[in-house]
C-alpha cells in the first residue's frame, strides 16, 4: 500500500528558529510536494520536486527551502520561522506515469506552531 | 493562485440523502480531481475526471465536468455519517501540480 510518512507530527518552534520537516515515501514515486493548510482553507503549494536533487518553487515559496536528497525523502526547511508560518504542512507524492499518474498520496500532516 | 473554487463553504444533510458539491475553475484543464479530507487526516483522491469526459462514477460518487462553463460537480448518493469531511476540487498543471479550492465542509447528520 502506498505510504507517505511525515515527521514530526507536531512541533512547537520559536520565532527566528530553524525548523526542518521531513517526508518519506515508499511509493517509488518521482514527484513529491509540500503544501501548507491554514485553518479553514485549502492547500497551497510551497515547493515540489520531480527528480532527486532538484526542487521547484510553488505558489508560496517565500520563507521556505526544500531539499530532495533521494527519491524517497523530501524535506521542508524554515530557516527563520515566523508567526505567520503557523499552519499544518502536508507532504504528498505522485507517480507521474500510468493510469493513475495524477493521483497524489498525502501524508498525515505536521502541525507547526511558531511562538 | 486560486484556479479552482468550490461554490459552497458548508453543506449539511441527513443520512440517506443526496448532496452535490459544485466547483468552478479559471483555466483550461487536462483533468480535474476531487479530494476528500477527513478531520485530522491528509486529503485522499476520490475521482479524476479528464477534460474529454463528461461524467465519472466511483461507487456512490458521481463527478461531472462541463468545460464550456468551466465547472464540475461531485454528487454523493445515500450519504452516510462517515462521508462527513471537507471536499476539494483541484485542477492540474505541469508536473502533476494541483491547485486546490478552499473546500466545502459537508456534515452528514444521523
Instruction: Give how far the C-alpha of residue B35 lies from the chain's centroid of Cα atoms, to the nearest Å.
Output: 6
Q: What chain A residue is nearest to B92 in terms of C-alpha separation?
A: A102
pLDDT at B48: 93
Is residue B80 very low, low, confident or very high in pLDDT (cuts 50, 70, 90)? very high
From B10's Cα to the closest Cα of chain A, the distance in A is 11
Is omega for the bond preceding A8 within 30 degrees of 0, making it cis?
yes
A38 CB near a chain B CB, below 8 Å? no
What secondary structure letter does DSSP report for B39? T
Mean pLDDT (chain B, rounded)? 92
Option in A45, A92, A102 nearest B48 (CB):
A102
| Residues on chain B touching A44 (C-beta within 8 angstroms) | 100
* Nearest-angstrom CA–CA distance, A64 and B97: 18
| pLDDT tens per residue across span A49-97 | 999 999 999 999 999 999 999 999 999 999 999 999 999 999 999 987 6
Contact B102 A56 (CB under 8 A): no
Contact B96 A94 (CB under 8 A): yes
Cβ count within 10 A of residue A16: 10
Option in A4, A102, A107 nearest B92 (CB):
A102
Residue B89 pLDDT more than 80? yes
* Nearest-angstrom CA–CA distance, A46 and A18: 17
| pLDDT tens per residue across span B39-66 | 999 999 999 999 899 999 999 999 999 9
A41 CB near a chain B CB, below 8 Å? yes
Nearest 5°: CA angle at A1, between A26 and A32?
40
| pLDDT tens per residue across span A33-54 | 999 999 878 899 999 999 999 9
Amino acid at each position: 500500500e502506498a505510504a507517505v510518512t511525515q515527521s514530526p507530527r507536531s512541533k512547537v518552534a520559536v520565532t527566528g528558529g530553524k525548523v526542518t520537516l521531513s517526508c518519506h515515501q515508499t511509493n517509488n514515486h518521482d514527484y513529491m510536494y509540500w503544501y501548507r493548510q491554514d485553518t479553514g482553507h485549502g492547500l497551497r503549494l510551497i515547493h515540489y520536486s520531480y527528480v532527486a536533487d532538484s526542487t521547484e518553487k510553488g505558489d508560496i515559496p517565500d520563507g521556505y527551502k526544500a531539499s530532495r536528497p533521494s527519491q524517497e525523502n523530501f524535506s521542508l526547511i524554515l530557516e527563520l520561522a515566523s508567526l505567520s508560518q503557523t499552519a499544518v504542512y502536508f507532504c504528498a507524492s505522485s507517480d507521474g506515469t500510468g493510469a493513475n499518474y495524477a493521483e497524489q498520496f498525502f501524508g498525515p500532516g505536521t502541525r507547526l506552531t511558531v511562538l | 493562485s486560486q484556479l479552482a473554487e468550490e461554490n459552497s463553504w458548508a453543506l449539511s444533510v441527513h443520512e440517506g440523502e443526496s448532496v452535490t458539491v459544485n466547483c468552478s475553475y479559471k483555466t483550461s484543464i487536462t483533468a480535474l480531481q476531487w479530494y476528500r479530507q477527513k478531520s485530522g487526516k491528509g486529503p485522499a483522491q476520490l475521482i479524476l475526471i479528464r477534460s474529454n469526459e463528461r461524467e465519472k462514477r466511483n461507487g456512490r460518487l458521481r463527478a461531472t465536468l462541463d468545460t464550456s462553463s468551466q465547472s464540475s460537480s461531485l454528487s454523493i448518493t445515500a450519504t452516510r455519517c462517515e462521508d462527513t469531511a471537507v471536499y476539494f476540487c483541484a485542477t492540474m498543471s505541469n508536473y502533476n501540480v494541483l491547485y486546490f479550492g478552499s473546500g466545502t465542509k459537508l456534515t452528514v447528520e444521523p
